[in-house]
Amino acid sequence: MADSQQRCILVTGGAGFIGSHVVRHFVRKYPHYRIINVDQLTYAGNLENLADVQDAPNYCFVRGDVGDLETMRSLLREQKVDGIIHLAAESHVDRSICDPLLFARTNVMGTLNLLQAARECWSGQWEGRRFHHVSTDEVYGALEPGEAAFSETTPYSPHSPYSASKASSDHFVRAYHDTYGLPVVLTNCSNNYGPYQFPEKLIPLCIHNICEEKPLPIYGNGENVRDWLHVQDHAQAIDEVFHRGRDGESYNIGGGNEWRNIDIVRKLIRLVDEELGRPVGYSDRLITFVADRAGHDLRYAINAEKLRRELGWVPQRSFETGLRETVKWYMEHADWVRNVTSGAYERYYAEMYGDR
């Protein structure tokens, strides 16, 4: 797919963490595209994340719910959308354990609505059209230490309501391709980190708590392993797959960068304490082992060889640099953190960690 032609791309969930980086990337890199960001602005959606592109002539925001089929239909028709990059989702595993139905509604039904709207609106005229579904490595389940990393052919085996809802949405995307011929691509990415991530996720939560000298809750024994990728490397990979990925294919995206949770937390302690001029090891005392997450997947690891081989994508940022920059970003954006951690988030936090 040429990236020189004019296009109208609908990004769903563009006010969230990864979505805001994808919107910024496309708005800046492709001034001849119109980028429409549709987002319901749940607790995780924040237009402040896009303050630097909100006045760009090729960008607009529409508040809307992917659960509302009629709104999705009209958006696609009226705006003559020819590309969809679908990120809108409930994204936090712990919340999915508390409210699985919400995850089915947004992640499964929301995706199905968008697929149906695209199918109706594009009605067999597939040329130049594309539905890019953004998914997660968590659909593959959990690995034992030493087991080979997930590839695109690893069977799906989700364990949490979150990963089950994402797996289900992936199946619907493939079903629309195989049954109706809808032009789709899928990406399954590992854990992202970087600016604008809501501080309910491990890395921003710990940066915030180290700064505030609050306990750092480590689930279980801290031995669980995740593969971490900088969010801007993810946005670049989405760009490559959206434009040049093969129709109907899935691509794994990952950092080749596995860390145990406890080691990440120790790394964050070192970086934050250094920034604040505190003595070495000052915040070690904040490490607090708490009850494990139910159904906690032991290890995720991604084999991103297909993406490298076919599209030449490799991550650009080293973890050391990316994490240091991320720590600095959170410390320099205390207002952003304060805004998103007030009100509803505070209540959620008390519920989640109060008795733990």
Residue type, 100: P
Tell me the closest approach of the beta carbon of residue 209 to ligand TYD, in angstroms: 9
Count CB-CB contacts under 10 A for residue 195.
20
Where in 242-271 is the site for ligand TYD (CB under 6 A)?
Answer: 261
Residues in the interface with ligand NAD (CB under 6 A) total: 30
For ligand NAD, the closer of residues 15 and 337 by Cβ is 15
Count CB-CB contacts under 10 A for residue 209.
20
**Side by side, which strands form the sheet with 130-136?**
59-63, 33-39, 7-12, 83-86, 130-136, 184-189, 250-253
Centroid of chain to Cα 101: 20
Query: Which residue's CB atom is positioned nearest to ligand NAD?
Result: 16
Residues in the interface with ligand TYD (CB under 6 A) total: 12
Where in 285-314 is the site for ligand NAD (CB under 6 A)?
Answer: none
Q: Is 137 a catalytic residue?
A: yes
Catalytic residue among 137, 170, 227, 297: 137
The reply to whether 134 sits near ligand TYD by the rule CB under 6 A is: no
For ligand TYD, the closer of residues 193 and 313 by Cβ is 193
Which of 23, 109, 121, 130 has its CA nearest to residue 66? Answer: 109
Q: Is 233 a catalytic residue?
A: no
**11 strand-pairing partners:** 37, 85
Q: Is 310 a catalytic residue?
A: no
Where in 285-344 is the site for ligand TYD (CB under 6 A)?
Answer: 293
CA distance linking residue 329 with residue 194, whole number of Å: 8
> In terms of C-beta density within 10 A (0-12 exposed, 13-18 middle, 19 or more buried), how is residue 324 classed?
middle
The reply to whether 165 sits near ligand NAD by the rule CB under 6 A is: no
CA distance linking residue 273 with residue 255, whole number of Å: 26
The reply to whether 93 sits near ligand TYD by the rule CB under 6 A is: yes
Catalytic residue among 82, 138, 170, 200: 138
Cβ distance 37 to 6 under 8 Å?
no
Cβ distance 303 to 247 under 8 Å?
no
Task: Answer with the entry of ligand TYD, ligand NAD, none that 270 interacts with (C-beta below 5 to 8 A by kind).
Answer: none
Cβ distance 199 to 205 under 8 Å?
yes
Given 9, 18, 238, 340, the residue binding ligand NAD (CB under 6 A): 18
SS3 99: coil
The reply to whether 217 sits near ligand TYD by the rule CB under 6 A is: yes
Span from 5-13, 54-62, 101-109, 197-205 in contact with ligand TYD (CB under 6 A): 197-205
Task: Answer with the entry of ligand NAD, ligand TYD, none that 110 interacts with (C-beta below 5 to 8 A by kind).
Answer: ligand NAD
The reply to whether 201 sits near ligand TYD by the rule CB under 6 A is: yes
CA distance linking residue 286 with residue 264, whole number of Å: 14
Task: Answer with the entry of ligand NAD, ligand TYD, none that 205 interacts with (C-beta below 5 to 8 A by kind).
Answer: ligand TYD
Catalytic residue among 140, 162, 196, 251: 162
x-or-dash string of contact with ligand TYD, 162-191, rule CB under 6 A: -----------------------------x
Residues 6+ apart with CB under 8 A from 243: 1, 2, 3
Token digits of residue 310:
């076919």
Residues that bind ligand NAD (CB under 6 A): 12-13, 15-19, 39-42, 44-45, 65-67, 87-91, 106, 110, 134, 136, 166, 189, 191-192, 198
Active site residues: 137-138, 162
Residues that bind ligand TYD (CB under 6 A): 93, 191, 201-202, 205, 217-219, 224, 226, 261, 293
